[in-house]
Amino acid sequence: MGIFDFLSGEFIDVIHWTDDTRDTMVWRVEREGHEIKYGAKLTVREGQAAVFVHEGQLADVFTPGLYMLETNNMPVMTTLQHWDHGFRSPFKSEVYFVNTTRFNNLKWGTKNPIIVRDPEFGPVRLRAFGTYSVRVSDPAKFLVEIVGTDGEFTMDEISYQIRNIIVQEFSRTIARAQIPVLDMAANTRELSQLVGREIEAQLAEYGLSLPELYIENISLPPAVEEVMDKRSSMGVIGNLNEYMQFQAAESLGRDGAGAAAIQAGMGAGLGMQIGHGMANAGPWGARPAVAAPAQPAQIAPPPPPVEHVWHIAENGETKGPFSKAAMGRMASDGALTRDTHVWTPGQDGWQKAEDVMELAQLFTVLPPPPPGA
């Protein structure tokens, strides 16, 4: 090996870094005992920064661009090396490339529930999760505070610490905000901004910034969600007494007997209201101008018995219900005979009309059928 080949192998004249890992934050150029040639070319691409460390001291920081490593653009290194303007010699230095692009779609979440005081439900436990992005805003500070002498630093090495900071600030912010649990879904954007501003100050001490923070979901324990679902169902039902009455009426109305009972009850009630109104009316149907003297309290008579309604069986089909008056007209017209099978609610099965005492009276006023009919 010639002296020229030896010197060319010992000196580094081109310094650059390309990353295809997508998670490397800092990468150190491996010199392996080689010295950097004075006047070497340094290429710093967009989304990168190059930090020079000389004899354990942080020297120069280069932003994106193409540089010739000379005294005019390496002021700190020149001071550390005590270079004269005419001195041209190789130098030893560690070069760290720092990735300054955003690291996106990073996950965060509460490992344990957060207890907050809700104005409506009292103390409740909350869980939350979301995503965030982070980037290196100060390469020199990040190298000093976090990386140290690590030759290759990845996002995984600091993501756990950032998640702890996010959860801590989220817990403090959610407790101070005093937002009702039912309104948190409508305020996740504002909460994200509040938490992000609180975290920025802490991450700035590490040379990092937090461009984005999203709260994707805030959830309650399953037991509380179940109670809330029941409460929502009660809100949809409305008045519980009215709902129970509706359910009872609907169950009675599923068969004809229930419908007939409802009709009979409504008729009796309407008759009582009309009779009460007639009793209070004057001789000409109008209420007297002077109120009648107060009468002593009397025991109200029992309500009149409910009139039965009847169903008849004819040709394998059931017809009805019919009132007793309607049954009387049918008996007069011959549509109802003694042998017609009838049934009313409370009766034990179908019976012939002549066997039912209440209907047998309808046939006593009629002559019996003629002989030989």
* pLDDT per position as a tens digit, 260-294: 555 555 555 555 555 555 555 555 444 545 555 55
**What would be the CATH architecture of the domain defined by 310-364?**
2-Layer Sandwich (3.30)
Average pLDDT of the segment spanning 341-348: 84
Identity of residue 66: L
Tell me: pLDDT of 250 over 80. no
* pLDDT per position as a tens digit, 179-214: 888 788 888 888 899 899 889 988 999 999 999 999
Identity of residue 117: R
Task: Give the residue, 218 or 244, on which the prediction is more confident.
Answer: 218
As given in the structure block, the two tokens for residue 153 are 């630093």
E strand or H helix at 242, and its extent?
helix 240-252
Q: How far is CA 225 from the centre of its chain?
A: 10
Average pLDDT of the segment spanning 16-29: 89
Task: Give the residue, 195 or 92, on which the prediction is more confident.
Answer: 195
pLDDT grade for 82, boundaries at 50, 70 and 90: low
What confidence score (pLDDT) does residue 337 get?
86
pLDDT grade for 1, boundaries at 50, 70 and 90: very low
pLDDT grade for 9, boundaries at 50, 70 and 90: very low
Average pLDDT of the segment spanning 358-362: 79
* pLDDT per position as a tens digit, 98-135: 999 999 999 999 888 888 888 877 888 888 999 999 99
Tell me: pLDDT of 141 over 90. yes
Mean pLDDT of the chain: 78
Ranges assigned E (strand) in the chain? 11-15, 24-28, 35-44, 48-54, 57-62, 65-68, 94-99, 103-109, 114-118, 122-136, 152-154, 208-219, 310-314, 317-322, 341-343, 351-352
Does CATH place domain 103-225 in 3.40.50.300?
no
Minimum mean pLDDT among 120-124, 300-304, 337-341: which range? Answer: 300-304
As given in the structure block, the two tokens for residue 241 are 């007494």
Average pLDDT of the segment spanning 330-346: 84
Average pLDDT of the segment spanning 206-234: 81
- Are the CB atoms for 40 and 90 separated by under 8 Å? no
Which burial class, exposed, middle or buried, applies to 55 when counting CB atoms under 10 A from its CB (0-12, 13-18, 19+)? exposed
Those residues with Cβ within 8 angstroms of residue 186's Cβ, 6 or more apart along the chain or in another chain: none
Share of the chain above pLDDT 70, in %: 73
Domain boundaries, the chain: 3-99, 103-225, 310-364
Tell me: pLDDT of 355 over 90. no
Round to whole Å and give the CA distance between 300 and 350: 37
What confidence score (pLDDT) does residue 290 get?
52
pLDDT grade for 305, boundaries at 50, 70 and 90: low
What is the model's pTM?
A: 0.56
Tell me: pLDDT of 36 over 90. no
What confidence score (pLDDT) does residue 272 get?
57
Round to whole Å and give the CA distance between 193 and 215: 10
